[in-house]
């Protein structure tokens, strides 16, 4: 069997063997209702899912990771709640201590859940969209590799009359276990990044690219096409440098801009897990 197909089947079997992600998080919210450090993270996850399911941009997330000192806090809380030697206190300690590794893993898996459920790879929050809209203003923009179109939809909600060209090659639609391109939230024109730029270069002021696929050189191809063009526009890029997104050639040859505009774009775009993506302005 094709190794890729086998991996997809194993992933599907694992999903079927465990309760749905949100069901598990809802259960743990009740279990940790007296522990604010855990509760606030779980509530953020559940609220983000609620907003995405409703077709709305989610809120910004805290770091989704159980703090190293949480067991100390838990021990202190239980000691203050129950008399010394009370079996109920021992039972609660044992139950919550045993649940902590699973909760920590589920929190770390939230990005995977959002990717699988909604086809959202870069986590596009409402505060970030406001910053992006303020930076580009009403200027015409091109979004390439738009996936399901969360950035374009968010900009259109804030600037209904803005010209936004939303494009994607839609190659992801061939991935049976991936929702990218399968449930677009706005109209998307089927064009690869270079073709999209060549078509709309003389009509735009910004190009937006979020989470170019890891190791594929389409980002570098796009940057070369932009540099070869007579049109001088900046590339607003969301990704993890030399990490989970993009090609080495792109990151090696990018001309990174600095200043207030870059700072503004990163004002509300912060990592919430082990992936340290950020917003770059590149020429």
Q: pLDDT by residue (tens digit) across 139-165?
A: 999 999 999 999 999 999 999 999 999
Instruction: Determine, yes or no, domain membership for 2.
Output: no
Instruction: Determine, yes or no, domain membership for 83.
Output: yes
User: Backbone phi, then psi, for 280, in 5-degree steps?
Assistant: -120, 150
Q: How far apart are the first and last CA of the chain?
A: 44
The residue among 205, 256, 263 whose CA lies nearest residue 233 is 205
For the stretch 45-84, pLDDT in tens is: 999 999 999 999 999 999 999 999 999 999 999 999 999 9
Cβ neighbours around 86 below 10 Å, total: 13
Q: Which domain range does residue 268 map to?
A: 126-282
Whether 243 and 147 share a structural domain:
yes
CATH number, domain at 156?
A: 3.40.50.150
Whether 182 and 43 share a structural domain:
no
How many CA within 13 A on the CB side of residue 172?
24
Q: How far is Cα 280 from Cα 283, in angstroms, rounded to an integer?
A: 10
Whether 110 and 238 share a structural domain:
no
> Whole-model pTM?
0.89
pLDDT above 80 (res 4): no
For the stretch 211-225, pLDDT in tens is: 999 999 999 999 999
């Amino acid at each position: 069997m094709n190794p890729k197909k086998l991996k997809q089947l194993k992933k599907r079997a694992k999903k079927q063997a465990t309760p749905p992600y949100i069901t598990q998080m809802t259960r743990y919210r009740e279990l940790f209702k007296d522990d604010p450090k855990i509760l606030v993270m779980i509530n953020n996850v559940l609220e983000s899912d609620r907003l995405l399911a409703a077709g709305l941009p989610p809120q910004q997330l805290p770091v989704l990771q159980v703090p190293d000192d949480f067991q100390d806090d838990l021990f202190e809380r239980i000691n203050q709640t129950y008399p010394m030697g009370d079996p109920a206190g021992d039972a609660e300690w044992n139950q919550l201590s045993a649940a902590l590794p699973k909760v920590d893993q589920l929190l770390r898996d939230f990005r995977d859940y959002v990717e699988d459920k909604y086809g959202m790879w870069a986590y596009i929050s409402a505060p970030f969209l406001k910053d992006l809209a303020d930076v580009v203003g009403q200027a015409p923009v091109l979004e390439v590799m738009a996936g399901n179109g969360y950035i374009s939809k968010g900009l259109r909600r804030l600037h209904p009359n803005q010209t936004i060209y939303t494009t994607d090659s839609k190659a992801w639609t061939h991935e049976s276990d991936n929702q990218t391109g399968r449930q677009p939230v706005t109209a998307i024109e089927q064009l690869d990044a270079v073709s999209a730029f060549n078509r709309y270069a003389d009509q735009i002021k910004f190009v937006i690219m979020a989470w170019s696929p890891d190791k594929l050189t389409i980002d570098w191809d796009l940057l070369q096409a932009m540099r070869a063009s007579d049109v001088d526009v900046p590339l607003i890029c969301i990704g993890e440098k030399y990490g989970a997104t993009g090609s080495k050639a792109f990151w090696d040859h990018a001309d990174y801009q600095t200043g207030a505009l870059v700072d503004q774009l990163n004002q509300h775009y912060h990592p919430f897990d082990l992936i340290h993506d950020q917003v770059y302005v590149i020429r």
